[in-house]
Structure 1
Amino acid sequence: MSKKHVVIGFIGSQLDGGHGAGRWEKWRPTISLVSQPDAVVHRLELFHSPQHLALAELLKRDIANVSPETEVNLVEMAVADPWDFGEVYAALYDWARAYRFDTTREQYRAHITTGTHVAQICMFLMVEARFIPGVLLQTSPPRKWKEGEPGAVALIDLDLSRYDGIAQRFRAERHDAVAFLKSGIATRNARFNALIEEVERVAVRSRAPMLLTGPTGAGKSFLARRMYALKQSRHQLDGDFVEVNCATLRGDGAASTLFGHKKGSFTGAMADRPGLLRTADKGLLFLDEIGELGLDEQAMLLKAIEEKRFLPVGADREVESDFQLIVGTNRDLRAEVAAGRFRDDLFARINLWTYSLPGLRERPEDIEPNVDHLLQLGAREAGRAVRFNAEAKARYLSFAQSSRALWSGNFRDLSASVTRLATLAEGGRIGLPLVEAEIARLEWLWERGDEVHAGDGRDEADDALLDEVLDRAALEAMDRFDRLQLAAVLRVCRASGSLSEAGRRLFQASRQARSVVNDADRLRKYLLKFGLSWDHVAPAARG
Structure 2
Amino acid sequence: MTKRTVVVGFLGTQLDSGQGAGRWEKWRPTLSLVQHEDTVIDRLELIYTLRHVGLALQLQKDIATASPETVVNLVAMDIADPWDFGEMYAALYDWARSYRFDPAHERYWAHITTGTHVAQICMFLMVESRFIPGVLLQTAPPKKQTRGDAGKFTLIDLDLSRYDVLAQRFEQAQTEALDFLKSGIATRNKQFNALIEEIERVAVRSRAPILLTGPTGAGKSHLARRMFELKKSRHQVKGDFVEVNCATLHGDGAASTLFGHKKGAFTGAVTDRAGLLRTAHEGVLFLDEIGELGLDEQAMLLKAVEEKRFLPVGSDREASSDFQLIAGTNRDLRIDVAEGRFRDDLFARINLWSYTLPGLAQRPEDLEPNVEYLLARAVAESGRAVRFNVEAKTRYLKFAQSGEALWSGNFRDLSASVTRLATLADGGRISTSLVDDEIQRLKWLWQRRPSAEDGEAVDLAALLGVEALEEIDLFDRLQLESVVRICRESRTLSDAGRRLFDRSREQRTVVNDADRLRKYLIKFGLSWESLRG
| TM-score, normalised relative to structure 2 | 0.86
The equivalent residue for 2:484 is 486
Q: Deviations over 1:121-167 (max 9, x none)?
A: 55445555666554332112235545543222001123333211111
Moved more, 435-444 or 48-57: 48-57
Q: Deviations over 1:373-408 (max 9, x none)?
A: 111111211112211111111111111111111111
The equivalent residue for 1:214 is 214
Shift of 1:224: 0.9
State whether structure 2 residue 434 is matched by structure 1 residue 434: yes
Letter in 2 for 1:405: A
Seen in structure 2, the aligned counterparts of structure 1 residues 475 and 436 have a Cα distance that, compared at 3 Å, is: farther
Q: Deviations over 1:84-116 (max 9, x none)?
A: 42332222332225xx6662xx54433232345
Match of 2:327, SS state, is strand
The equivalent residue for 1:407 is 407
State whether structure 2 residue 190 is matched by structure 1 residue 195: no
Aligned ranges 1:22-421 → 2 under 5 Å: 22-49=22-49, 51-68=51-68, 70-79=69-78, 83-97=87-101, 103=105, 107-116=107-116, 120-121=120-121, 123-124=123-124, 127-128=127-128, 134-143=134-143, 145-421=145-421
Q: What CA distance in whole angstroms lies between the structure 1 residues aligned with 2:27 and 2:454?
A: 84
Letter in 2 for 1:96: R
Q: What CA distance in whole angstroms lies between the structure 2 residues aligned with 1:265 and 1:459?
A: 52
Identity of aligned residues (%): 66
Shift of 1:265: 2.0
Contact 2:5 2:40 in 1 (8 A): yes
Seen in structure 2, the aligned counterparts of structure 1 residues 274 and 345 have a Cα distance that, compared at 3 Å, is: same
Shift of 1:201: 0.9
Seen in structure 2, the aligned counterparts of structure 1 residues 173 and 473 have a Cα distance that, compared at 3 Å, is: same
Contact 2:402 2:498 in 1 (8 A): no
Seen in structure 2, the aligned counterparts of structure 1 residues 283 and 334 have a Cα distance that, compared at 3 Å, is: same
Contact 2:464 2:524 in 1 (8 A): no
Match of 2:379, SS state, is helix
Match of 2:312, SS state, is coil
The equivalent residue for 1:513 is 507
Seen in structure 2, the aligned counterparts of structure 1 residues 398 and 101 have a Cα distance that, compared at 3 Å, is: closer
Q: What CA distance in whole angstroms lies between the structure 1 residues aligned with 2:43 and 2:303?
A: 59
Q: What CA distance in whole angstroms lies between the structure 2 residues aligned with 1:388 and 1:158?
A: 52
Q: What CA distance in whole angstroms lies between the structure 1 residues aligned with 2:184 and 2:510?
A: 36
Contact 2:361 2:495 in 1 (8 A): no
Q: Deviations over 1:51-110 (max 9, x none)?
A: 544323321332244445x4233233454556342332222332225xx6662xx54433
State whether structure 2 residue 15 is matched by structure 1 residue 15: yes
Contact 2:45 2:75 in 1 (8 A): no
Q: Which runs of 5+ in 1 are unaligned?
A: none
Seen in structure 2, the aligned counterparts of structure 1 residues 350 and 293 have a Cα distance that, compared at 3 Å, is: same
Letter in 2 for 1:74: N
Letter in 1 for 2:73: L
Match of 2:315, SS state, is coil
Contact 1:489 1:506 in 2 (8 A): no
Match of 1:427, SS state, is helix
Seen in structure 2, the aligned counterparts of structure 1 residues 162 and 515 have a Cα distance that, compared at 3 Å, is: closer
Shift of 1:194: 0.9
Shift of 1:17: 1.9
Q: What CA distance in whole angstroms lies between the structure 2 residues aligned with 1:283 and 1:6?
A: 46
Match of 2:374, SS state, is helix
Contact 2:11 2:46 in 1 (8 A): yes
Among 441, 448, 451, the residue aligned to 2:449:
451
Shift of 1:117: 5.0
Match of 2:139, SS state, is strand
Shift of 1:440: 1.1
Seen in structure 2, the aligned counterparts of structure 1 residues 26 and 502 have a Cα distance that, compared at 3 Å, is: farther
Moved more, 272-281 or 113-122: 113-122
Contact 2:367 2:401 in 1 (8 A): yes
Q: Deviations over 1:257-291 (max 9, x none)?
A: 22222222222222222222222222211111111
Q: Deviations over 1:165-203 (max 9, x none)?
A: 111111111111111111111111111111111111111
Q: What CA distance in whole angstroms lies between the structure 1 residues aligned with 2:374 and 2:137?
A: 54
Match of 2:14, SS state, is coil
State whether structure 2 residue 524 is matched by structure 1 residue 526: no
How many residue pairs match? The answer is 522
Moved more, 263-272 or 39-48: 39-48
Q: What CA distance in whole angstroms lies between the structure 2 residues aligned with 1:389 and 1:515?
A: 28
Shift of 1:368: 0.7
Seen in structure 2, the aligned counterparts of structure 1 residues 538 and 22 have a Cα distance that, compared at 3 Å, is: farther
Letter in 2 for 1:160: L
Q: What CA distance in whole angstroms lies between the structure 1 residues aligned with 2:361 and 2:172?
A: 31
Contact 1:211 1:327 in 2 (8 A): yes
Shift of 1:517: 6.4
Q: What CA distance in whole angstroms lies between the structure 1 residues aligned with 2:103 and 2:323?
A: 50
Letter in 1 for 2:393: K
Shift of 1:330: 0.6
Contact 1:46 1:74 in 2 (8 A): yes
Shift of 1:509: 6.0
Contact 1:96 1:131 in 2 (8 A): no
Match of 2:403, SS state, is coil
Match of 1:239, SS state, is coil
Match of 2:426, SS state, is coil
Match of 1:44, SS state, is strand
Q: What CA distance in whole angstroms lies between the structure 2 residues aligned with 1:504 and 1:433?
A: 26
| TM-score, normalised relative to structure 1 | 0.85
Moved more, 269-278 or 435-444: 269-278
Seen in structure 2, the aligned counterparts of structure 1 residues 63 and 502 have a Cα distance that, compared at 3 Å, is: farther
Q: Which runs of 5+ in 2 are unaligned?
A: none
Shift of 1:309: 1.9
Letter in 2 for 1:93: R
Shift of 1:417: 0.5
The equivalent residue for 2:425 is 425
Contact 1:79 1:88 in 2 (8 A): no
Seen in structure 2, the aligned counterparts of structure 1 residues 256 and 2 have a Cα distance that, compared at 3 Å, is: closer
Q: What CA distance in whole angstroms lies between the structure 1 residues aligned with 2:141 and 2:515?
A: 73
Letter in 2 for 1:267: T
Letter in 1 for 2:28: R
Contact 1:503 1:522 in 2 (8 A): yes
Seen in structure 2, the aligned counterparts of structure 1 residues 538 and 115 have a Cα distance that, compared at 3 Å, is: farther
